[in-house]
Amino acid sequence: MQQTLMPRHTPNREISTLILKAQQSELKDGSATVSESRISEGDALKVKEWEVGMFQNEVAASQGIRIRRRPPSGPPQHYKDLEVSQMKERKPLFTLKKALDNAPPVRDFIGALKAANSRTGLPGLIAEVKKASPSRGVLREDFDPVEIAKAYEKGGAACLSVLTDQKYFQGSFENLEAIRNSGVKCPLLCKEFIIDAWQIYHARTKGADAVLLIAGVLPDLDIKYMTKICKLLGLAALVEVHDEKEMDRVLQIDGIELVGINNRDLETFKVDISNTKKLLEGDRGERIRQKGITVVGESGLFTPDDISYVQEAGVKAVLVGESIVKQKDPAKGITELFGKDISL
């Protein structure tokens, strides 16, 4: 943490004061990070935002992060940075914090996956409510998110993943909120490109029980900080990796309970389900088991053989979109995917 508190760029006076407070706090109890220290959560967020803004590209490069968001200088240009900064202006953090008082209670996302796995002997299913994707275009023209969510629950899904990104997936927070308010009991993952802690608060106010943190997009410091915010809010964090390097980065972060192995390369869109097996082999797999991490196999799962393959590799849960959302009756699609009725 000290290293990130010694910027090469000069912070403004407010940030300098906050950094000093955080450092004094660290000196007192030795181990605290900015977010754990005695400065307020709002102040910690300001320091964090400043650190992230200054170092993002340097840190990202050193951690092998391939998916870059910010230009080296100047204003944000990536659509998600722009989108989030506009949303933050409309609903600042203090407004979101007030809205938390009226947010529905959080349901146990990881508990639901484990219970389904124990009940069926098969990986717990996170069924994805996704209208379109960058690799496949529109998956379902007659897309009614609540109807699909209800069919998934009827078909035995343990949890649901709801795409909220509009640009690439034609998703929305309205869909997430509508599913949450529809009486569907499955815990909900907010499937979003999270780049800012503000989005976690926002997801919580819209009824999410879990959020996605993508290691290919977020530096270690962000993953650490954001998993703490999730814990603070009672949300589960699904930390997604695609290769060995990302898995190794995530394994050295304490407190991570749920890791997703995406079989899809987010840059090339190439899907290979043997990726799940590769990342769970040998010492790496052993460390994951020792840490008690629940692993989710993600993407490209279409048949009972695919499910058996990733289960044998060591996953306790799977995240599936295309193969079930395209079915006329998504509940039947689940039965076909698993080769048996998992709702019983």
Nearest to 247 by CA among 205, 215, 212: 215
Cβ–Cβ < 8 Å for 259, 295 = yes
3-state class of 146 per DSSP? helix
Buried/exposed 42-63: b ≥16 CB within 10 Å, e otherwise: ebbbbbbebbbebbbbebbeeb
Q: Residue with the closest Cβ to ligand LARABZUK?
A: 321
**55 vs 68: CA distance, rounded Å:** 12
Is 327 a binding residue for ligand LARABZUK by CB under 6 A? The answer is no
Site size with ligand LARABZUK, rule: CB under 6 A: 19
Tell which positions 133-152 bind ligand LARABZUK, by CB under 6 A: 133-136
Written as six digits, the tokens of 229 are 């915010």
Is 275 a binding residue for ligand LARABZUK by CB under 6 A? The answer is no
Is 320 a binding residue for ligand LARABZUK by CB under 6 A? The answer is yes
Nearest to 330 by CA among 75, 87, 137, 157: 157
Is 297 a binding residue for ligand LARABZUK by CB under 6 A? The answer is no
Q: How far is the CB of 316 from ligand LARABZUK (least distance, A)?
A: 16
Is 262 a binding residue for ligand LARABZUK by CB under 6 A? The answer is yes
| DSSP-assigned letter for residue 271 | B
Is 53 a binding residue for ligand LARABZUK by CB under 6 A? The answer is no
- Report the 10 Å Cβ neighbour count for 14: 12
| Interface pick for ligand LARABZUK out of 322, 327, 333, 342 (rule CB under 6 A) | 322
Among 97-105, 115-123, 143-151, 298-306, the segment contacting ligand LARABZUK (CB under 6 A):
298-306
For the window 300-319, what string marks contact with ligand LARABZUK as x by the rule CB under 6 A? xx-----------------x
Nearest to 155 by CA among 189, 121, 111, 120: 120
Q: What is the binding site for ligand LARABZUK (CB under 6 A)?
A: 128, 130, 133-136, 262, 264, 266, 269, 298-301, 319-323
